[in-house]
Amino acid sequence: MYNQAMVNPFAAFVYDIKRIPSIAFQNQRNGEDVKLLLRQHPITNIRWALPIALLAFLPFAAQTWGNTFLATLQLPTIVETFTTIEIILLTSTYYLVLIYIGISGLLRWFFNVLLLTNLRVIDLTYRPPFHWQITQAQLEEVQDVSFTQGGILGIIFNYGTIYLQTAGTSQNIMLSKVPQPSRVNELIVGLLP
């Protein structure tokens, strides 16, 4: 594990013949090498990171303008009912909830991975807090590879959805918001037997 040149652990698109053997996963077979690792484009993290960044300033804003706001509503006594220790506890709870949302968003992105080895395709999906799933298909079972790219953000940041259609009873594999979908499509087609 990571004994060779280290791959950036937060990379969303890893295709490097020299560095890629350093990636490892559970139940990896002898002689099985990872050829491609994909995650969603890092910009997709903005949907949880931006609200959290804004909400993190809310207690400071409340401290600055809260009393004025409450005075206009004629409810100044509400704040006065809380002691200092209670306000510290409420603020801590607020930040713990924000941190949980942040950790969940990060883990959801980090463990939502598509791995392509010389033998199979493995799709690891994690939906916090409870659901996780591993789907895999042998490379021989992959019948068709396609991608779609749309939306203004998809065009600006060059991300799209990759579909791997498999034969038989194997579940089809899909990863959305993958960076450089056309290049990924070409690489996957090139790696198929």
- Nearest of 62, 65, 53 to residue 90 by alpha carbon: 62
If binding is defined by CB under 8 A, does position 93 make contact with other proteins? yes
If binding is defined by CB under 8 A, does position 48 make contact with other proteins? no
If binding is defined by CB under 8 A, does position 130 make contact with other proteins? yes
If binding is defined by CB under 8 A, does position 89 make contact with other proteins? yes
What residues are paired with 125 via a beta bridge?
Answer: 133
> Which span (13-21, 120-128, 144-152, 179-187) binds other proteins, by CB under 8 A?
120-128
If binding is defined by CB under 8 A, does position 6 make contact with other proteins? yes
If binding is defined by CB under 8 A, does position 71 make contact with other proteins? no
Give the burial class of 135: count Cβ atoms within 10 A of its Cβ; 0-12 exposed, 13-18 middle, 19 or more buried: middle
Name the strand (E) or helix (H) holding 61. helix 58-73
CB 17 within 8 A of CB 5: no
Least distance in angstroms from the C-beta of 93 to other proteins: 5
**Contact with other proteins (CB under 8 A): which of 30, 68, 81, 169?**
81
If binding is defined by CB under 8 A, does position 129 make contact with other proteins? yes
Q: Which long-range contacts (CB under 8 A, 24 or more apart) does 139-143 make?
A: 139/191, 139/192, 139/193, 140/193, 141/166, 141/167, 141/168, 141/170, 142/166, 142/167, 142/188, 142/192, 143/167
Q: State the number of binding residues for other proteins (CB under 8 A).
A: 37
Q: Which residues bind other proteins (CB under 8 A)?
A: 1-2, 6, 9, 23-26, 75, 77-78, 80-82, 85-86, 89-90, 92-93, 96-97, 99-100, 103-104, 107, 110-111, 113, 124, 126, 128-130, 132, 134
